[in-house]
Amino acid sequence: MTAIEAGEPVAHAELSRLSVEDQEHLRVRLLATPTGRRWLRADPELTPDAAGRLLEHEPDFRQSRRDRTLAAVIKQASSAAIERHLDAIAAGPGAPELWRRLAVDPDQLVSLASSLFASDDRQAADVTLHLLVLDRLDPFEVGEDRRAKIAAAALSSPNIGARGLAAEYLAEHDPGVLRGSLDRLLADESERVRGVAWEAALRVDRSGTVERAVTLLSDESAPVFVRRSALDALGTVLPTSQLTDLLAYFVVHPDHDLAADAAGLLYRQHRNPITAEAARASPHPDVREIAERLLDPSRGSPAAGGSRPGDPTRSSTDIYADMIRQLEERSGNQHEPHGR
């Protein structure tokens, strides 16, 4: 084992003292160990060919800790070698050096960054989005238009997290891009992506999007998870007066998730007696429980047809009825036999 392989500090100048054959033999041996590869990466006379060979050891570039020697390889490697190992470089601590190198050609930067989202490399996708799209300082001077292009490419990523990050960025900065992919986004398997897409669409075209949501909700052949997002979107933007009949329909829906979502909207945001009465007939016990709670005169919501003690809208007869009920309860308790 050489001193280099053992991790001992050795000057790179010593390599030049060896014959060409011995140098190549030593390089092959050094490439086999992490310590040896790091020594080779730090060689001030690193050639593009040697950098390409070092890039083949992709785990070195995916490590979590910072390593200044990675930058030298990324600077010296050929464009072809960079593209062959793009995912590994973009996923690790050498990614900033990659984008600094590519920043001289913004169109190539966008092209290579967009290509990263075609694979299911979650780490590469997330790091790329954070460096090129989400960083408000735009350290690589990508520009708003190119950032939107990169984010739009990420919408097609097989990675759920990347799609969510891209959708949220575009919803804030360029919601029109989301409209172009709205059919796909509203049916996305990610609840986060669906929610962002509905929110953006409602901001851009409220009336058209509301009509779209109602049509989708009336389609019993549509997937339940897609209809649930549509119902939640409408529950967020429409007033109770426009949701009464729709919620009354869904609180009795055979699918529990849809019925529970409608009951949740009834309880949290859209209390009304019509929907509450309908919920009493729901086939789902938890939905009926919400209805009974809202309609109960002693603890319910005036907005849903019930009442509460202290409610200023209650009549005096209600107050007297409560007093009589309380007196009867006390009287009954006094006549109960004491336990032994």
Average pLDDT over residues 330-340: 55
Residue type, 89: I
Q: Which helix (H) or strand (E) holds 34?
A: helix 34-41
Burial class, 45, CB count within 10 angstroms (exposed 0-12 / middle 13-18 / buried 19+): exposed
| 3-state secondary structure string across 194-205 | HHHHHHHHHHHC
At 180 the pLDDT is 84
Residues 107-158 pLDDT 10s = 999 999 999 999 889 999 999 999 999 999 999 999 999 999 999 999 999 9
Least confident stretch, 52-61, 131-140, 143-152, 330-339:
330-339
- What pLDDT is attached to residue 212? 95
pLDDT at 10: 53
* Average pLDDT of the segment spanning 164-169: 96
Residue 316's pLDDT is what? 44
> Which of 33-37, 49-53, 179-183, 304-308 comes out lowest in average pLDDT?
304-308
Least Cα distance to 102 among 142, 138, 65 occurs for: 142
The reported pLDDT for the residue numbered 298 is: 79
Is the pLDDT confidence value at 339 over 50? no
Q: Check residue 179 and give its pLDDT.
A: 85
Q: Is 205 exposed, middle or buried (0-12, 13-18, 19+ CB in 10 A)?
A: middle
Please give the pLDDT value at position 48.
Answer: 95
Mean pLDDT of 231-242: 95
Helices (H) and strands (E) in the chain, counts: 22, 0
Whether the per-residue pLDDT at 5 is higher than 70: the answer is no
pLDDT, position 270: 95
Full-model pTM: 0.77
Structure tokens at 104: 């001289």
Asked if 116 and 129 count as a contact pair (C-beta separation under 8 A), the reply is no
Share the mean pLDDT of the chain: 87
Mean pLDDT of all residues in 243-257: 96
